[in-house]
């Protein structure tokens, strides 16, 4: 294991108080040793991590740089149209090869390290070492230096509906098997057109361990309680039809609702729910006008794929969210807002207006940016304590309701399996 | 800190009155936000307007959206009321420091201008940070001596935003 060197095994770093997933020891969010193990066992383990969109690298030689956990990765389009993902690290001394967030190597299909000019092809083979034979008869690499024994670490890459995923581990099943039919069907349903990028930005989440954001993305219970916009405008309340879907192993999650089926509930009218504001109105209510984009009448769906990818559909605002780890205490969320090439100008305008709902300035999403910090602040003095996750019962699995934390328990189920804790 | 005096470029013919009005607008904008008079902020825009925050790299690529989009004063008012009444966040304030305004040209009934800015965010517990730095790309109209923004595109140099953006930049 490469990251957790000289670290005690995970079983010694965290102690689950009981079997099952209803109690979560709070030090999982703060222990640096566990973070190193997560890099090995989760991000370099049998999981698929989102790398970006095919449309970001349309032409031969186009590349973007991103991260899988802490590992910097180059994602490049090869001449045959396939995509490679390579660790952005020279085998020589470890310098990154590509120091820009995106670019193109169309003239010569290779990556040249800025430090000593070692050159790699798009498959990661080391093809050239500067002054390998020395110069003017002096110096150079020893005669037994064999370039073919040194290569960039390469991820396996698969795509689905224009989304690019990569995995480090040979043990990872193929992507569609990893996702399972429920998740695959939802991705294909949501991304029904030719994606185009409307906007892209990053949200730094300080004081938010990556798992706090991912947990939040799988938490059915909070949307109408934390996000006053959802409740007040009846966009996403538990009184509407909806549910929680998971794959068979509970690694992944979809929450969905149909806004127009909201019949109301005494709970929301009681005045006890902070997020249900009786006296608040928008000056420009066209913000929440939408067209019924999907035949299934679902107006809001959040799909969370372990370990750190979210596919969002909030009214007509579509997009991807990628979780990037930044140490044990912080993480970053990369947002890419999407439309389709097939959209009419009117539809694009609706998506543009609804972009106000999401992202760091999002009427809905901004609170998800703050809430992880609220948790980390609250638990600081009680890291030996536990979180209590019993909403909806004690089990995992799909449920025809959203008054449940079944997918939060699902997250901890995967975590305990992969980390063996 | 250099004075925020509106500077004209050679392409623009700008009367002293217009320069004064534009300078006042620049100052009122940041003071309304920084000094907790956010309710004045929408009044500094025309009824149909454009206010956006788009990171520099995205803006240079001509992207349609950044983190925020308003195309009329009602949407600006909704940003204010949502901040006051709805959203959940740790209390904080901004302090803008702006550079001199460069008036680039007078075209289509408006003055095109750009102004550098830096915003320091101070949290209720006292932590301070440089929260955003970039420039304002503006179209300003002047009616009866009062300048208003027909368009203000905030272009932060960074594509990254710390935690959340609830107060307009």
pLDDT digits (tens, 9 = 90+) for B111-139: 999 999 999 999 999 999 999 999 999 99
CATH number at residue B116: 3.10.450.50
* pTM (predicted TM-score): 0.95
pLDDT at B1: 40
What is the mean predicted confidence (pLDDT) over B63-87? 95
3-state secondary structure of A419: helix
**Above 90 in pLDDT, residue B56?**
yes
User: Considering the domain boundaries, does residue B14 fall inside one?
Assistant: yes
Residues of B in contact with A205 (CB under 8 A): 163
Domain range holding B47? 7-156
* Chain B residues with beta carbon closer than 8 angstroms to that of A356: 68-70, 75
Residue B103 is assigned to a structural domain of this protein: yes
Put simply, whether A204 touches B (Cβ < 8 Å) is yes
| pLDDT of A303 | 98
Test A203 with B88 for CB contact under 8 angstroms.
no
Task: Count other Cβ atoms within 10 Å, centred on residue A18.
Answer: 8
Question: Looking at CA atoms only, how far is residue B99 from chain A in angstroms?
Answer: 25
Task: List the single residue in A277, A284, A356 with the smallest CB-CB distance to B74.
Answer: A284
Tokens, residue A87: 């660790």
Spatial separation of the C-alpha atoms in residues B33 and B41, rounded to whole Å: 7
Rounded to two decimals, the ipTM of the complex is 0.94
Asked if the model's pLDDT at residue B2 lies above 50, the reply is no
Residues A121 and A386: their CA atoms lie apart, in Å, by 49
- One pLDDT digit (tens) per residue for chain A, 421 residues: 577 888 999 999 999 998 899 999 999 999 999 999 999 999 999 999 999 999 999 999 999 999 999 999 999 999 999 999 999 999 999 999 999 999 999 889 999 999 999 999 999 999 999 999 999 999 999 999 999 999 999 999 999 999 999 999 999 999 999 999 999 999 999 999 999 999 999 999 999 999 999 999 999 888 888 888 888 888 888 888 999 999 999 999 999 999 888 888 888 888 888 888 888 889 999 999 999 999 999 999 999 999 999 999 999 999 999 999 999 999 999 999 999 999 999 999 999 999 999 999 999 999 998 999 999 999 999 999 999 999 999 999 999 999 999 999 999 999 999 999 9
Please tell me the distance from the alpha carbon of residue A248 to that of residue A245, in angstroms, as a whole number.
Answer: 10
Residue indicated by tokens 């305008």: A349
Tell me if B161 is assigned to some domain. no
Burial class (CB in 10 A: 0-12, 13-18, 19+), A357: buried
- Give the pLDDT confidence score for residue A224 in this predicted structure: 82
pLDDT at A82: 98
User: Whose CA is closest to A165, among A398, A354, A322?
Assistant: A322
Interface check A277 vs B, CB under 8 A: yes
**A124: closest CA of chain B, how far (Å):** 29
Query: How many whole angstroms separate alpha carbon A409 and alpha carbon A47?
Result: 18
Domains of chain A: 49-158 (2.102.10.10), 194-419 (3.90.380.10)
Residue B163 lies in a domain: no
Tell me, yes or no, whether B1 lies in a domain: no
Distance from CA of A118 to the nearest CA of B (A): 30
Instruction: Give the C-alpha separation, A385 to A48, whole Å.
Output: 31
| Long-range contacts, A57-61 (Cβ 8 Å, 24+) | A57/A83, A59/A104, A59/A106, A60/A106, A60/A109, A61/A104, A61/A105, A61/A106, A61/A107, A61/A109
B66 contacts on A by Cβ (under 8 Å)? 199, 201
Assigned domain for B165 exists? no
pLDDT band at B143 (very low <50, low <70, confident <90, very high): very high
Read off the pLDDT of residues A310-348 as tens digits, 9 standing for 90 and up.
999 999 999 999 999 999 999 999 999 999 999 999 999
Question: Is residue A102 packed enough to be buried (19+ CB in 10 Å), middle (13-18) or exposed (0-12)?
Answer: middle
Residue B169 lies in a domain: no
- Residue A126 Cα distances to A87, A119, B103, angstroms: 13, 6, 53
DSSP, residue by residue, A131-163: TTT-BTTB----TT--GGG-B--EEEEEEETTE
Structural domains of chain B, count: 1
B107 assigned to some structural domain:
yes
pLDDT of A162 reads 97
């Amino acid at each position: 294991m490469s990251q957790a060197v000289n670290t005690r095994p995970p079983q010694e770093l965290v102690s689950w108080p009981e079997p099952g997933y209803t109690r979560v020891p709070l030090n999982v969010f703060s222990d640096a040793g566990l973070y190193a193990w997560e890099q090995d066992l989760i991000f370099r383990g049998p999981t698929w991590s989102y790398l970006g969109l095919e449309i970001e690298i349309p032409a031969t030689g186009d590349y973007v740089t991103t991260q899988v956990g802490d590992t910097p990765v180059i994602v490049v389009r090869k001449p045959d149209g396939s995509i490679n993902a390579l660790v952005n690290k020279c085998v020589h001394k470890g310098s990154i090869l590509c120091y820009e967030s995106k670019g193109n190597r169309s003239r010569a299909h290779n990556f040249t390290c800025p430090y000593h000019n070692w050159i790699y092809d798009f498959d990661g083979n080391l093809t050239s070492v500067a002054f390998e034979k020395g110069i003017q008869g002096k110096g150079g690499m020893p005669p037994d230096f064999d370039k073919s024994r040194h290569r960039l670490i390469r991820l396996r890459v698969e795509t689905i509906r224009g989304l690019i995923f990569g995995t480090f581990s040979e043990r990872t099943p193929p992507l569609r098997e990893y996702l399972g039919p429920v998740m695959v069907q939802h991705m294909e349903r949501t991304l029904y057109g030719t994606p185009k990028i409307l906007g892209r930005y990053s949200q730094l989440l300080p004081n938010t361990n990556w798992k706090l954001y991912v947990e939040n993305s799988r938490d059915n219970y909070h949307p109408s309680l934390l996000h006053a916009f959802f409740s007040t405008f009846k966009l996403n309340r538990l009184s509407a039809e909806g549910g929680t879907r998971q794959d068979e192993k509970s690694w992944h999650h979809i929450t969905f609702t149909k806004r127009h089926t909201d019949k109301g509930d005494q709970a929301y009218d009681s005045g006890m729910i902070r997020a249900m504001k009786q006296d608040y109105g928008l000056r420009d209510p066209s913000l929440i006008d939408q067209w019924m984009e999907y035949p299934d009448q679902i107006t809001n769906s959040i799909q969370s794929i372990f370990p750190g990818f979210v596919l969002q559909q909030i009214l007509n605002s579509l997009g991807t969210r990628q979780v990037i780890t930044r140490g044990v205490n912080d993480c970053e969320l990369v947002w890419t807002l999407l439309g389709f090439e097939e959209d009419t100008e009117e539809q694009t305008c609706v998506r543009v207006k609804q972009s106000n709902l999401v992202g760091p300035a999002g009427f809905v999403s901004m609170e998800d940016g703050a809430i992880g910090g609220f948790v980390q602040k609250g638990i600081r003095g009680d890291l030996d304590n536990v979180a209590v996750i019993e909403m909806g019962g004690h089990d995992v699995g799909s449920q025809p309701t959203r008054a449940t934390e079944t997918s939060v328990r699902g997250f901890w189920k995967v975590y305990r399996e992969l980390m063996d804790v | 800190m250099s004075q925020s005096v509106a500077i004209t470029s050679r392409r623009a013919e700008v009367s002293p009155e217009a320069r004064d009005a534009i300078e006042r607008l620049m100052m009122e904008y940041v003071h309304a936000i920084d000094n907790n008079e956010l309710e004045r902020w929408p009044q500094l825009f025309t009824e149909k307007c454009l206010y956006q925050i788009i990171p520099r790299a995205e803006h240079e690529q001509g992207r349609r959206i950044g983190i925020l989009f308003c195309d009329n004063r009602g949407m600006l008012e909704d940003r204010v009321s949502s901040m006051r009444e709805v959203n959940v966040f740790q209390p904080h304030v901004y302090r803008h420091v702006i550079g001199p305004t460069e008036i680039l040209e007078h075209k289509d009934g408006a003055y095109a201008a750009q102004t550098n800015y830096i915003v320091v965010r101070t949290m209720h517990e006292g932590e301070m940070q440089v929260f955003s730095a970039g420039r304002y790309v503006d179209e300003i109209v002047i009616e009866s001596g009062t300048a208003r923004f027909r368009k203000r595109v905030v272009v932060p140099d960074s594509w990254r935003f710390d935690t959340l953006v609830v107060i307009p930049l």
